Amino acid sequence: MAIEKFSKDHEWIRVEGDIATIGITVHAQDQLGDVVFVEVPEVGRKVSAEEAVAVVESVKAASDVYSPVTGEVIEANGDLAATPGLVNEDAEGKAWFFKVRLAKPAELDALMDRAAYDDFAKNG
């Protein structure tokens, strides 16, 4: 069964086994507005928790996307480069940014569950 967590930087992470799928939350894409460009990390890149590893740009702003965990990028969502608007349509589904093989699963303990994140996003 998948574990779902959220970061204070408005990323979501869904973990199955030792693979973490990462994207930005619905709240984050609401704040950004219409997404016009996405840059995802290269496969094979080693990332650290809280490191900026991707970029999302909208008509309003550009933002870094941070990895909530340490590991190696094993897949990047190439569909986002061709269709950045997917982020607005399905931020917590088809519009995932990258997948990481977890190096330090204990880092998940520092992240929020859905209820805590919703409260954080609302009261920010």
Domain boundary assignment for the chain: 3-108
pLDDT number for residue 1: 80
Bridge partners, 99 (sequence order): 21, 75
- Residue identified by tokens 């950004």 is 32
Q: Between the CA of residue 108 and those of 29, 80, 88, 112, what are the distances in Å?
A: 23, 26, 26, 8
pLDDT score, position 123: 87
The answer as to CATH 2.40.50.100 being correct for domain 3-108 is yes
- At CA 17, angle to CA 54 and CA 66, rounded to 5? 15
pLDDT value at position 10? Answer: 97
Q: pTM of the predicted model, to two decimals?
A: 0.96
pLDDT attached to residue 124: 65
pLDDT, position 22: 98
The per-residue pLDDT for 104 is 97
Q: What is the pLDDT along the chain (124 residues), one digit of tens a residue?
A: 899 999 999 999 999 999 999 999 999 999 999 999 999 999 999 999 999 999 999 999 999 999 999 999 999 999 999 999 999 999 999 999 999 999 999 999 999 999 999 999 998 6
- The continuous run of DSSP H or E covering 26 comes out as helix 26-32
Residue 76 in tokens:
């990047």
Number of C-alpha atoms within 13 angstroms, CB side, residue 80? 27
